[in-house]
Amino acid sequence: MSERNLKSHKTTWTRALFTFLAPLALIFGFRWALYEPYVIPSGSMIPTLFIHDHILVNKWVYGLRVPWTNHWLWNWKQPELGDVVVFRYPMDQNTFFVKRIVALEGDTIEVREGQLILNGKPVARLSKPEFSLSKKEEAAYDYFQEQLGAHSFVSRSLRSQEDLGRNFSAKVPQGHFFVVGDNRDESHDSRAWGFVPMNLLIGRVGIIWLSCDHTLSAAPFICDPAAIRGSRLLKTVE
């Protein structure tokens, strides 16, 4: 092979390798530093997030991490009250949870029959009977408009008066935060397993970019096009 042909062959391979690796690097960089998609698997955040909501999580809003670790490279902002966040479940860090932050380090948090009490003051909530998602749910749940920090959102609680064992009172330790689901009585959250360390925080939920009532039977991770919830597309999460 002549020297000219050898150089041409090397150039072709270099271009081919770049063409293959560049998109992968862009995808990795996007998911590592900017946004990452997740799918909601449970109803613990109803009525804010539904099962099969596809969300984009803003990962740079709090800082940047060392790839594939829980260590921060830069942590330029702390989470705020009311943020809906994705984090690694403290009991199994291979599992990801999505909940709402209702108390930060140093705060005293109480939950009494679904009512949040922050630093001794009940979080104001207004009844929202018109918010019921269906006639069946209207008979089972009470809906409330709540305000935490800059976030205004709707939560719901079961009308049943039986003791659900969901009451809680504690002071949040340094470097941690406390989370609950907006579906107050049907959420596995900090009331059951404790506080979330800051190093397990992934990011803040930004938008719902896709949503459907059910997925394809042959591919459970793909939305059925006939079941798209059009009203939820590109919806900002409060």
Annotated catalytic residues are 44, 99
DSSP string, 68-135: TSS-EEE------TT-EEEEEETTEEEEEEEEEEEEETT-EEEEETTEEEETTEEPPEEE-GGG-SSH
φ/ψ of 148, rounded to 5, equals: -130, 115
The two tokens of residue 64 are: 């940047």
- The label of the residue with tokens 């579906």 reads 183
DSSP string, 110-122: EEETTEEEETTEE
- Smallest CA-to-CA distance from 223 within 213, 209, 233 is with 213
Nearest to 113 by CA among 130, 125, 103: 125
Q: Residue 164 carries which DSSP code?
A: -
Residue 130, token pair as written in the block:
């018109």
Please tell me the distance from the alpha carbon of residue 98 to that of residue 209, in angstroms, as a whole number. 16
